[in-house]
Structure 1
Amino acid sequence: MSDQIEGAIDGAVRGEILQRLRAAEREHDVRVLLAVESGSRAWGFPSPNSDYDVRFIYARPRDWYLSLDVEDRRDVIEYDIVDDIDLNGWDLRKALKLLRKSNPSIVEWLRSPIVYRDDGDFAARARALLPEVYAVDKGVFHYLSMADKNYHGYLKAKLVPLKKYFYVLRPLLAIRWLERYRTPAPIEFEPLRALVADNEILDKEIGRLLARKQRSQEKEFVPVIPALNEFIEHELSRLSRYQAKGDAPDGDLNALNTLFRHCMEAP
């Protein structure tokens, strides 16, 4: 965990987040198992007015899951953004089903460098299962979809949203990590950026953009940056021919069921 990133959350804000998590537990009769930061603050390049993207995984009482209509019951808790705090969570069952599919959101929550609440059990056990449940090829296709959608949706004009460059660069660099190391990519941007450090022009442009992002407002626009667009287009073209190494199966259901039952037995 980066101490610099972890320490980027103001103490008063952290206290307010913890208070809201406790309020959510009382309101919905749930136990928060893990609560983390998931957005640009966790990635290491927030703007001065970036929201706090708080995401949490919660468990309900055991009998809630032993209901005939459990499939029809709501499995998310969402709140309106108040004072820049965006708070929402997923039910444990939903989270584990998505983990089995190598969903990037749940994988990234488990690996976030900014942790608000941790019951000391669930997250550690879930992380230990990643080698058994994470499919690299699924990760590649998830990140490729993110990059392609954001590039063609936002970065083809003369003036473009600054932050959208990172919504494209980060998934593309995460793919490079997956291709090289065959393990889930880091959440923080700096280890990913290191993968292209040998490209001096690209690294210089990324550094300039990072510096501007960290002093700019969330909705700032910038002129299109040719060196970045050239890299992005090259990667999208290259990855359009990406071949999965066989059909990636879903993760180990038995292992995830064991973790789910363990959480049900916890006090």
Structure 2
Amino acid sequence: MLNKVRPALGRVLTPVGRTVARTGVSPNAITIIGTAGVLAGALGFFPRGEFFWGVLVITAFVLFDMLDGAVARVTGKISKWGAFLDSTMDRVADAAIFSGVMIGLYRDGQEQLAGVALYCLVAGVVVSYAKARAEGLGYTCNVGIAERAERLIVILVATGLDGLGVPYVLTVALWVLAVLSTVTVGQRFATVRAQALADTETRPAAPAPSPSPKAERPRERPSENASENAARDVRKAARRDGAKRAKGGGGRRKWHVRKLDSASEPRP
């Protein structure tokens, strides 16, 4: 939802990015320093129950981390490695924030609420992974009512107010985040599924495979064998008939020869 204000935020951060770029700090260095500060604030203050001071430290380094994109645009150092590093460090920072809150609540004896914080951590990872995986497959997945910016604002504001003594604010915020993160996961699943189904319907059907010569030969052989067998049978029958006729004629000739022989013999 807050992605719509990013162009305006970029225009505001560009002058600050020019000032920071003059110091010679690279965008990747800003990303690493910002993540290290978030880790220090989340894991150094939250587990001890010092939520307010932890939020102050985290907020300062989150704002500093937002300058990496502005510095990259000003200096022309936009790269795929920088984008990969920034996205990965964002996941590390989110995990540190929710883990620190979870540990602080568990030590305070609020085991159930600590479990809700753990669920928010896992759901946030799934939300981010679903978008990254969809974009890797060539789909768009810029949907959801609880993206990273919304989740970060809600948890930091609620944790800071809890550190100031406002009751139930952190409990309500964690339950709301759990529900909103679940809805966001469902939205991204539905969006990617719709694109995948549309892609399948528009894809042309694969042509039927043509029969191979090996598959045709068994069908040709029976007909050839049948014609050859028929011709062979005709030849055999002709030979048998010829043999019978020849045999019959030879017998009659022998019979006449015997008659002539017996007639020519002198009588006693």
Kindly indicate which of the two structures has a greater share of residues assigned to helix: 2
Which structure carries more strand by proportion? 1
Q: TM-score, normalised by structure 2?
A: 0.29
Higher Cα radius of gyration: 2
